Amino acid sequence: MLRVTSIAAATATLLAVLGTNAVAAVPASRQESMVPVPSSKAALMRATKEALRMPIGERIETLQQQGPQGYRNLVGLMMDDAQPMETRWKAVTSVGLIGRAESKPELERALKHNEWYMRNAGLVAMVGADRASASRWAKALLSDKAAIVRAAAVDAIVEMRDTSSKELLWKKLYAKENFRHGKSLFVRKRILEALTHLEGPGREQKFVQILSDKDESLHPYAIAALEKITNQSLGANTEPTKIRRELWQKWWKEKAQAKL
């Protein structure tokens, strides 16, 4: 069973397991040695399925040789509920790699699917196919019913360096769907990590507030963010988080008083 945890960390695990990386088109110099494409639709479907079991580079090369019918086969496989998750995931991401921007309609079908892994795969593929659409979908999927898809949306935002999503991420950090029985879900850490990457000077207060969050596991992330945006460290890295947390809270209090 796949344990999905980037497009930085939920989606990165699936990408590593399934080998989903961008691949260039087949060089013309290699086309002469390519294996002939099966002529019948049934034979080509079998060839498409076989290609999905290949390493990513060979997979995309082989699928590109299959032409429009091979592409239609991929779309059929990704929407076939009888196919296993791994096959459908690879079909979705292959559609994105081969079709690029022209695959947007097919990828949006995946993004609207009721299976979480289809929405996840659709977003991974859309990031490489159409950044503007990926940004819109990532924002929408921050409210997805599946926590793993919400995490993938956060990862997509980080990968795209989508600073237009910052305020929405802050809102989602405190959204009720990211808590269970009053305790943080892992998505909150992902959001805070993302904000550390996306935020800059002038946002110190936001991270200082995290230091008062009941979820103490968030405090090291808030400290790391403060160190990044202020370009300074308070206390040694070897000191307990509690001590460093208090130092930053004292720093902010003194900073606020100095403005009075």
For the segment 31-82, what is each residue's pLDDT rounded down to a tens digit?
434 455 666 899 999 999 999 999 999 999 999 999 999 999 999 999 999 9
| pLDDT for the residue 29 | 36
**Domain limits, the chain:** 10-163
Quick one: tokens of 215?
């979820």
Beta bridge partners of 180: 183
| Whole-number Cα distances in Å, 139 to 45, 85, 219, 222 | 35, 24, 25, 23
Percent of the chain with pLDDT over 90: 82
CB 208 within 8 A of CB 222: yes
Question: Which residues have C-beta within 8 Å of that of residue 23, sequence separation ≥ 6?
Answer: 56, 57, 60, 61, 97
Q: Topology of 10-163 in CATH?
A: Leucine-rich Repeat Variant (1.25.10)
| Whole-number Cα distances in Å, 221 to 98, 142, 158, 227 | 38, 20, 15, 10
Rounded Cα distance, 60 and 58, in Å: 6
Residue type, 255: K
CB 90 within 8 A of CB 79: no
Residue with tokens 């400290």: 223
Reference 248, options 215, 212, 214; nearest CA is 212
Would the pTM count as exceeding 0.95? no
CB 123 within 8 A of CB 108: no
